[in-house]
Amino acid sequence: MDERPTLETIRQAHQHIQGYVHRTPVLTCTTIDQRVGAQLFFKCENFQKSGSFKFRGASRAVLLLDGDQAARGVLTHSSGNYAAALALAAHNRGIPAYIVMPSNAPAVKKEAVKNYGGEITFSEPTMSAREAMAAEVQQRTGATLIHTFNDYRNISGYGTAALELLEEVPDLDIIITPTGGGGLLSGTLIAAKGLKPDVQVIGAEPAGADDAYRSWRAGKLIPLERADTIADGLRTSLGERTFPIIKDLVDGIALTSEEAIREAMQLHFERMKIVVEPSAAVPLAVLLEQEVDVTGRRVGIILSGGNVDLMNKLA
Q: Annotated active-site positions, please?
A: 54, 79
Q: Which of 242, 245, 303, 258 is nearest to 27 (CA)?
A: 303
| CB-based contacts of 29, cutoff 8 Å, min separation 6 | 40, 42, 271, 272
**How many Å apart are CA 69 and CA 78, to the nearest integer?**
20
Alpha helices in 242-309 (DSSP H): 242-249, 258-267, 278-288
Q: CB–CB of 238/215 below 8 Å?
A: yes
Q: Which of 28, 36, 20, 3 is nearest to 291 (CA)?
A: 36
DSSP symbol at 4: P
| Cβ neighbours, 10 Å, residue 39 | 18
**How many Å apart are CA 228 and CA 255, to the nearest integer?**
13
CA angle 187, 193, 198 (to 5 degrees): 150
| Cβ neighbours, 10 Å, residue 312 | 11
